[in-house]
Amino acid sequence: MIILGVDPGTLFTGYAVIGNEKGRMVLIECDVIKNPSSDTLPVRLKNIYDSLVKVIDEHKPDEFAIETAYYGKNVQSTLKLGHARGVSILAAVNKQIPTTEYSPREVKKSVVGIGSASKEQVRFMVCQILKIKDKPKSLDITDALAVALCHYNKVMGHKTTSQSWEDYVARNPKKVIVKN
């Protein structure tokens, strides 16, 4: 199974392709689609769409997962995020890829074990789960990886409690730094 996970945004859209190898998920490709702030919104949306179609054509994912819109205080930002989500979903639907949406809390809970986890905690756990040695350069990328892993966990029926911080600390006591 190959999964394309997307963390949408009009300036930075993170994407990640993961696949199943010998019963565990491995990283195939991840990156961020960057748009100059000087570009108009329609030009940015076209770039997101075209870039995701290229990724889809290259990797032929079986499933597409995307984070739902976060409703913040800035209505304009939320509307723009909705546009980025729309063209991302359209890229998948036009290629007839089953599409699933996950809330930010659901993604964090699936990967970290806590729905209120920080982006840095998500990055750490994603790198641990996928055995990534060099941290991805952008939190948008690790968020996209988390979305893909969340979908994998959901499809495979994996429980998320075994990946909580508490469980990780219990399994790895030598990696814990205690500050006095």
CA 94 to chain CA centroid, Å, is 20
Question: At how many degrees (to 10) do helices 104-111 and 119-129 cross?
Answer: 50
Q: Is 172 helix (H, G, I), strand (E, B) or coil?
A: coil
Catalytic pick among 7, 31, 63, 143: 7
**End-to-end Cα separation, the chain, in angstroms:** 46
What whole-number distance in Å separates Cα of residue 58 and Cα of residue 37? 27
Q: Which residues contact 142 (CB under 8 A, 6 or more apart)?
A: 14, 119, 122, 123, 126, 127, 135, 136
Comparing CA positions, the residue from 114, 106, 121 lying closest to residue 164 is 114
φ and ψ at residue 86, rounded to 5 degrees: -60, -50
Catalytic pick among 21, 140, 143, 167: 140
Instruction: Tell me, yes or no, if 7 is annotated catalytic.
Output: yes
What whole-number distance in Å separates Cα of residue 106 and Cα of residue 156? 16
Catalytic pick among 58, 67, 106, 166: 67
Instruction: Tell me, yes or no, if 29 is annotated catalytic.
Output: no
Return the active site residues. Answer: 7, 67, 140
